[in-house]
Structure 1
Amino acid sequence: MPVTRTTPPGRQPLARTRILDATWALAAERGLAAVTMRAVAERLGVTPMALYRHIGDKQGLLDGLVERLLGEIPLPDPELPWPDRLEQLAQGMRAVARAHPDLFPLLFERSATTEAARRPRDAAYSALREAGLKEADVERAERMLSTFILGFACSEAAGRFAHVDADTEFTYATEALRRVFVS
Structure 2
Amino acid sequence: MMKKKHSRGQRGLIEADLVHASLLEVERNGLEGFGLRCAARAIGCDVATLSYRFGSKEGLERAIADRLHEEVSPPELQVKWQARLQAMAKSYRQVAKRYPNAFPLLLRFWTTGPRDLQIAEAWHQALYDAGLREADIPAVGCATYAAVLGVCAGETGGLLDKPSAEVIKEVEEQTDLPLTKELMPTFATLGEDDVFEAAINILISGIEAQVHANPAPFANHA
Give the conservation status (yes or no) of the 8 Å contact 1:23–1:35. no
Determine helix, strand or coil for the equivalent of 1:117.
helix
Q: Deviations over 1:16-43 (max 9, x none)?
A: 2122122112111111124211222233
Larger Rg belongs to: 2
Of 38-47 and 20-29, more deviation after overlay is shown by: 38-47
Equivalent position of 1:179 in the other structure:
205
Equivalent position of 1:108 in the other structure:
107
Equivalent position of 1:7 in the other structure:
none
Equivalent position of 2:155 in the other structure:
156
Equivalent position of 1:167 in the other structure:
193
Offset of 1:95 from its aligned partner?
Answer: 1.1
Letter of the structure 1 residue corresponding to residue 36 of structure 2: M
Q: Deviations over 1:100-119 (max 9, x none)?
A: 11221222222323111222
CA distance in structure 2 between the aligned counterparts of 1:82 and 1:176, rounded to whole angstroms: 15
Equivalent position of 1:24 in the other structure:
23
Give the conservation status (yes or no) of the 8 Å contact 2:62–2:105. no
Give the conservation status (yes or no) of the 8 Å contact 2:20–2:64. no
Note the residue ranges of structure 1 that are not aligned, 5 or more in a row: 1-11
Over 4 Å off, 4+ runs: none
Offset of 1:63 from its aligned partner?
Answer: 0.5
Letter of the structure 2 residue corresponding to residue 116 of structure 1: R
CA distance in structure 1 between the aligned counterparts of 2:125 and 2:118, rounded to whole angstroms: 11
Query: 1:24-43 alignment to 2 at 5 Å?
Result: 24-43=23-42
Of 166-175 and 77-86, more deviation after overlay is shown by: 166-175
CA-atom RMSD in angstroms: 1.8
Letter of the structure 2 residue corresponding to residue 152 of structure 1: V
Query: 1:85-124 alignment to 2 at 5 Å?
Result: 85-124=84-123
Determine helix, strand or coil for the equivalent of 2:116.
coil
Give the conservation status (yes or no) of the 8 Å contact 2:106–2:112. no
For residues 54 and 80 of structure 1, do their structure 2 counterparts lie closer, same or farther at Cα, with a shift above 3 Å needed?
A: same
Q: Deviations over 1:137-169 (max 9, x none)?
A: 112111111111111111112343343122222
TM-score (norm 1): 0.84
> Does 2:143 match 1:144?
yes
For residues 21 and 170 of structure 1, do their structure 2 counterparts lie closer, same or farther at Cα, with a shift above 3 Å needed?
A: closer
Letter of the structure 1 residue corresponding to residue 157 of structure 2: A
Equivalent position of 1:5 in the other structure:
none
CA distance in structure 2 between the aligned counterparts of 1:150 and 1:94, rounded to whole angstroms: 8
CA distance in structure 2 between the aligned counterparts of 1:54 and 1:44, rounded to whole angstroms: 14
Note the residue ranges of structure 2 that are not aligned, 5 or more in a row: 1-10, 163-189, 210-222
Give the conservation status (yes or no) of the 8 Å contact 2:151–2:199. no
Equivalent position of 2:213 in the other structure:
none
Equivalent position of 2:183 in the other structure:
none
Of 114-123 and 40-49, more deviation after overlay is shown by: 40-49
For residues 181 and 44 of structure 1, do their structure 2 counterparts lie closer, same or farther at Cα, with a shift above 3 Å needed?
A: closer
Aligned residues: 172
CA distance in structure 1 between the aligned counterparts of 2:109 and 2:198, rounded to whole angstroms: 28
